Amino acid sequence: MPRIRTLVVDDEPIARDWLRTLLAEDPDVKLVGEAANGAEAVAAAVREQPDLIFLDVQMPEKDGFQVLEDLGTERAPVIVFVTAHDQYAVRAFDVDAVDYLLKPFDRGRFRDALGRAKRQLLGDPKGALAWKLMDMLKSSDPSRAPASRLLIKADGRIQVLRIRDIDWIEAAGHYVNVHAGKTTRLIRETMNELESRLDPTAFLRVHRGAIVNVDRIREIEPLFHGEAVLVLADGKRVTVSRSFRPKLEEALGKSV
């Protein structure tokens, strides 16, 4: 088969470097471009007409879904999604049609994905594949399978944090601070995005800017005007706003 014209799209230089290294090891692949965000990805795809794109899901300006929507079925190549987030239905792609790389991945996992992409290019209409992938991702319901861990990018590395180890989470603009034991980690997600990935029976939104692990609650101190303060296992005090207090009482099965 002709060399596979391949585009790499990821907002992290380290991730693009790793993909470039792996692609260079396969003589069937020709890297025709790179992009660091969704807008660049669309422009590069239109310009280079790649057969295959390794596409990050979460990026500035346009996410992976929007990139596919902008390309449309006429230009859509075979897609392998690459992401550090596991809220999507990863197992749904363990078929020959599409693939999904969860960072960090090794050479073996990458070669599996590239092999599947090659088989797709040999036999399946490219536009249909891309839209089938997008439909599968969009139809997946993260609430049915709450995340069991968070993958956190820090200092060029990917740290793995078990969800059950989280004490509480606080908003920090377009980011969140995740508190687990004596460690605080900054994650590039909004409170709403992260809350949608958590088990609602284990984590409770108690304030516009705070989510707590229910198992970490040790004391509840009622305040005036319907507010309250939660004292967590480590002594941290987190305010419960009046509008979120009914949710707390429902979770505890008791008025406070």
Q: What is the pLDDT of residues 79-125, one digit of tens each?
A: 888 887 655 444 334 333 357 788 888 999 899 889 888 888 876 54
Q: For residues 100 and 188, what is the distance between their CA atoms, to the nearest angstrom?
A: 21
- Is 157 domain-assigned? no
Same domain, 136 and 50: yes
Range of the domain at 226: 162-252
Q: Give per-residue pLDDT as tens, 47-60.
A: 999 999 999 888 87
Q: What is the mean pLDDT of the chain?
A: 80
Say yes or no: 11 and 68 in one domain: yes
Is the pLDDT higher at 71 or at 36?
36
Domain count, the chain: 2
Tens digit of pLDDT for each residue in 26-48? Answer: 999 999 999 999 889 989 998 99
First to last CA, the chain: 69
Q: What is the pTM of this model?
A: 0.50
Lowest-confidence segment of 13-27, 113-127, 145-159, 235-249 by average pLDDT: 145-159
125 and 177 assigned to the same domain: no
Give the percent of the chain with pLDDT over 90.
36
CATH of the domain at 176: 2.40.50.1020
Q: Is 207 inside any structural domain?
A: yes
Q: Which residue has the tokens 């969800």?
A: 163
Task: Specify whether 70 is located in the same domain as 170.
Answer: no
Tell me the C-alpha distance between 206 and 240, whole Å.
5
Same domain, 172 and 125: no
